[in-house]
Amino acid sequence: MAETASNTIVCRRCGQTQPQMPERPFKGPLGEQVWANVCAPCWKEWIHMGTKVINEYRLNFALPQHAEIYDQHLREFLNLGPAEAQA
């Protein structure tokens, strides 16, 4: 975790010290990792890019492999590293 003080982080994507997001963006280990390592401005950028990923790949989140594709792009965009390295 890239924590520098209470409620600030060094963002893995932009490298800047920023206030931590007020709450986790979603549940689960990946949501926890995003919250601990990504600033709000970079998360907002991902929301726009994530929409493009969904549309370009025509992802259907009812299919587990489509959710994995989305998560892979999220990890790459936010510089979080591969899923297996986080286990």
Encode pLDDT of 64-84 as tens digits.
999 999 999 999 999 998 876
CA distance 27 to 10: 21
**Structure-model confidence comparison of residues 4 and 48, the more confident one:** 48
The number of helices, as runs of H, and strands, as runs of E, in the chain is: 3, 3
- Kindly list the structural domains of the chain, giving each domain's residue range(s) and its CATH number in brackets, ordered by start: 3-86 (1.10.3880.10)
At 17-56, the pLDDT tens digits run 999 999 999 999 999 999 999 999 999 999 999 999 999 9
**Amino acid at position 4, single letter:** T
pLDDT at 84: 61
Structure letter (DSSP) for residue 49: H
Residue 4 has pLDDT above 70, yes or no: no
pLDDT at 83: 75
pLDDT at 82: 82
